[in-house]
């Protein structure tokens, strides 16, 4: 049995990827402040960065070199997303009143399966990807960001493997995932807020891909598994702040 080279086994953390994850967490948290203080609705604009950056982080984890051969589907990664998608639904509904979809993690679960099939288009990964895509189509009305959102990690895998023309697919899917007709009606009327939202959705994938290709010479604190707890935890914290604020 061959052993990984010392250089690969001791591969340092990717500072750009950790920074990408921090920015995704920050933009998500900023976005959700709207549910505590509704007058801060303009925070919807920077909040459009969060989902594309999370999808890009999934893709980057799938395509980066590994010290040992990977399974066709990263089971630990998948299991954590599944677990916290269940644990996060009640906190999500506690903060977001009358939600129109499930929390975002079910979309990322399907996105991980589809992206794994693009990364290793054979055998188990391929069939799981096809099943996940069919489920995304059926569950589209309940998925946050819909089918386009479930496809976005796969588009990032494709873009990372073919860096030049392939960036257009994440850009288009990011726009489709965030598509809401009133924004485009308002944009046609020249509304600055609507244009800012659309530009944020379009530029988020491009910014993420650019950032991930930078060789950062700074130390970025790693984003580890505590981030899974942060997702339901920040919903509970913000809901508690809102209850206190409204007393």
pLDDT digits (tens, 9 = 90+) for 131-144: 999 999 999 999 99
pLDDT at 174 over 60: yes
pLDDT score of 6: 41
- How many CA atoms lie less than 13 Å away from 69 in the CB half-sphere? 6
pLDDT score of 68: 65
- How many CA atoms lie less than 13 Å away from 183 in the CB half-sphere? 16
Range of lowest pLDDT (97-101, 164-168, 171-175, 208-212) = 164-168
pLDDT at 228 over 70: yes
Distance CA 159, CA 155 (A): 6
Report residue 170's pLDDT band, with 50, 70 and 90 as the boundaries.
very high
Report residue 122's pLDDT band, with 50, 70 and 90 as the boundaries.
confident
pLDDT score of 66: 67
pLDDT at 1 over 70: no
Q: Which residue has the higher pLDDT, 128 or 163?
A: 128
Average pLDDT, integer, range 186-204: 94
pLDDT at 81 over 90: yes
173's tokens: 């899917």
Output the 3-class SS for the chain.
Answer: CCCCCHHHHCCCCCHHHHHHHHHHHHHHHHHHHHHCCHHHHHHHHHHCCHHHHHHHHHHHHHHCCCCCCCCCCCHHHHHHHHHHHHHCHHHHHHHCCCCCCCCCHHHHHHHHHHHHHHHCCCHHHHHHHHHHHHHHHHCHHHCCCHHHHHHHHHHHHHHHHCCCHHHHHHHHHHHHHCCCHHHHHHHHCCCHHHHHHHHHHHHHHHHHHHHHCCCCCCCCCCCCCHHHHHHHHHHHHHHHHHHHHCC
Distance CA 162, CA 178 (A): 24
CA end-to-end span of the chain: 65
pLDDT at 244 over 90: no
Average pLDDT, integer, range 173-202: 93
Q: Which residue has the higher pLDDT, 219 or 246?
A: 219
pLDDT at 69 over 60: yes
For the chain, domain boundaries = 6-242
114's tokens: 């589809």
């Amino acid at each position: 049995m061959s052993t990984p080279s010392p250089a690969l086994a001791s591969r340092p953390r990717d500072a750009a990827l950790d920074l990408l994850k921090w920015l995704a967490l920050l933009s998500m948290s900023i976005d959700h402040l709207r549910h505590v203080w509704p007058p801060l609705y303009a925070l919807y604009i920077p909040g459009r960065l969060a989902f594309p950056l999370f999808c890009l982080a999934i893709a980057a984890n799938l395509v980066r070199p590994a010290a040992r051969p990977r399974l066709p589907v990263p089971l630990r990664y998948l299991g954590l997303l599944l677990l916290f998608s269940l644990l996060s639904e009640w906190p999500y509904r506690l903060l977001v009143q009358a939600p129109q979809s499930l929390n975002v993690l079910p979309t990322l679960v399907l996105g991980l399966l589809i992206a794994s099939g693009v990364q290793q288009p054979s055998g188990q990964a391929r069939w799981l990807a096809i099943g996940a895509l069919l489920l995304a189509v059926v569950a589209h009305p309940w998925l946050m960001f819909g089918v386009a959102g479930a496809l976005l990690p796969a588009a990032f895998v494709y873009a990372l493997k073919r860096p030049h023309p392939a960036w257009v697919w994440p850009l288009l899917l990011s726009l489709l995932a965030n598509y809401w007709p009133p924004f485009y009606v308002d944009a046609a009327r020249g509304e600055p807020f609507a244009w800012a939202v659309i530009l944020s959705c379009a530029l988020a994938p491009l910014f993420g891909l650019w950032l991930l290709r930078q060789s950062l010479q700074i130390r970025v604190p790693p984003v580890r598994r505590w981030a899974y707890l942060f997702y339901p935890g920040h919903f509970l914290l913000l809901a508690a702040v809102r209850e206190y604020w409204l007393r």
